[in-house]
């Protein structure tokens, strides 16, 4: 993304394939071994802003050096993994009743009539719940929790907490 020096508005954008480039050797050594997702793909779309409401394609490389996602696996691409309001409400309801995230997935699969119709992963559910909990944590709640832990530790020296 290129921004104007004058008003910081966006004046250019480059979109690349998710398999663009290669994973650096430093990252490969420091992380757990996993499937390599980068393949040096050169596909890209480069645009720049001309005038107030006009965008112009400056460069387009449409060829990919790898197979594209199959129709069956496209639903797992990040851009396709969107939770509906109904799914969010059901996840919230089950979580409020104490159902663990790992047990929520089978309920969603059952509701939709099969795993092939679900466009979410278990990690998506956990991420959604974590984000929701963080948003619900109001200012001052963390301080109250710290005071509670300190009080518990003064009452019981064996009580341990870490921040």
Mean pLDDT in order along the chain per 10 residues (163 residues): 89 90 68 67 93 92 89 78 89 92 91 84 91 76 84 90 82
Task: Give the pLDDT score at 44.
Answer: 93
Task: Give the pLDDT score at 55.
Answer: 94
Same-domain status, 37 and 84: no
Task: Give the pLDDT score at 36.
Answer: 67
**Tokens 């998506």 map to which residue?**
124
| Three-state secondary structure call for residue 147 | helix
Sheet strand arrangement including 44-50 = 2-3, 10-16, 44-50, 54-61
Q: Could you tell me if residue 157 is inside a domain?
A: no
Same-domain status, 83 and 120: yes
Same-domain status, 90 and 110: yes
Per the structure, how many domains does the chain have? 2
Q: Could you tell me if residue 158 is inside a domain?
A: no
Tokens of 156: 């019981």
Same-domain status, 2 and 60: yes
Same-domain status, 63 and 78: no
Task: Give the pLDDT score at 129.
Answer: 92
Task: Give the pLDDT score at 32.
Answer: 57
Given phi > 0 = left and psi -120 to 50 = alpha, else beta, which region is 21? left
Gap between the Cα atoms of 146 and 153, Å rounded: 11
Task: Give the pLDDT score at 61.
Answer: 94
Q: How many helices (H) and strands (E) does the chain have?
A: 5, 4
Per the CB < 8 A criterion, the answer to whether 119 and 76 are in contact is yes
Q: Could you tell me if residue 146 is inside a domain?
A: no
Residue 34 structural domain: 1-68
Gap between the Cα atoms of 64 and 41, Å rounded: 6
Same-domain status, 128 and 85: yes
Same-domain status, 40 and 101: no
Q: Could you tell me if residue 161 is inside a domain?
A: no
Gap between the Cα atoms of 41 and 21, Å rounded: 6
Same-domain status, 61 and 82: no
Same-domain status, 19 and 56: yes
| Three-state secondary structure call for residue 12 | strand
Q: Could you tell me if residue 111 is inside a domain?
A: yes
Which among 68, 89, 117 is the end of a domain?
Answer: 68
Per the CB < 8 A criterion, the answer to whether 88 and 96 are in contact is no
Which among 37, 68, 99 is the end of a domain?
Answer: 68
Q: Could you tell me if residue 159 is inside a domain?
A: no
């Amino acid at each position: 993304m290129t921004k104007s020096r004058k008003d910081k508005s966006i004046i250019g954008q480059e979109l690349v394939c998710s398999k663009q480039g290669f994973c650096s050797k430093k990252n490969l050594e420091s992380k757990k071994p996993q499937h390599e997702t980068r393949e040096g793909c050169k596909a890209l779309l480069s645009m720049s802003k001309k005038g107030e409401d006009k965008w112009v394609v400056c460069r387009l490389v449409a060829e990919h050096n790898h197979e594209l996602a199959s129709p069956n696996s496209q639903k797992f691409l990040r851009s396709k993994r969107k939770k509906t309001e109904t799914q969010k409400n059901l996840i919230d309801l089950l979580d409020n009743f104490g159902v663990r995230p790992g047990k929520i997935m089978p309920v969603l699969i059952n509701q939709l009539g099969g795993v092939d119709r679900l466009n979410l992963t278990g990690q998506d559910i956990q991420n959604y719940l974590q984000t929701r909990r963080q948003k619900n944590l109001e200012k001052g709640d963390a301080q109250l929790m710290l005071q509670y832990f300190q009080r518990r530790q003064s009452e019981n020296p064996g009580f341990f907490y870490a921040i």
